[in-house]
Amino acid sequence: MNKVLSLAALLIALGLILYLYQQLNATEKALQLAEKRFADCEQVNFQLQNQLTLVKRGDIPDSLKVKQ
């Protein structure tokens, strides 16, 4: 009985370890994706700020002019 109880506790611990490992991997992948999206947003924000600065100064390149 004592050996069965010890074996059950070890199996539960192993299952918990595997579950937590799986959760950790999923969280790491989500973090990498979030970091990539954040970097992409920073790049777009930087580009938009540069365009806004050009518009405010009046130096509008042809690529930003509204075509009519």
Using an 8 Å Cβ cutoff, are 51 and 64 in contact? yes
pLDDT tier for residue 64 given thresholds of 50, 70 and 90: low
pLDDT tier for residue 67 given thresholds of 50, 70 and 90: low
Using an 8 Å Cβ cutoff, are 61 and 54 in contact? yes
Q: Measured between alpha carbons, how far is 60 from 9 in angstroms, rounded to an integer?
A: 70
Q: What angle do CA 38, 36, 61 make, to 5 degrees?
A: 65
- Locate the domains of the chain by residue range: 2-57
pLDDT tier for residue 18 given thresholds of 50, 70 and 90: very high
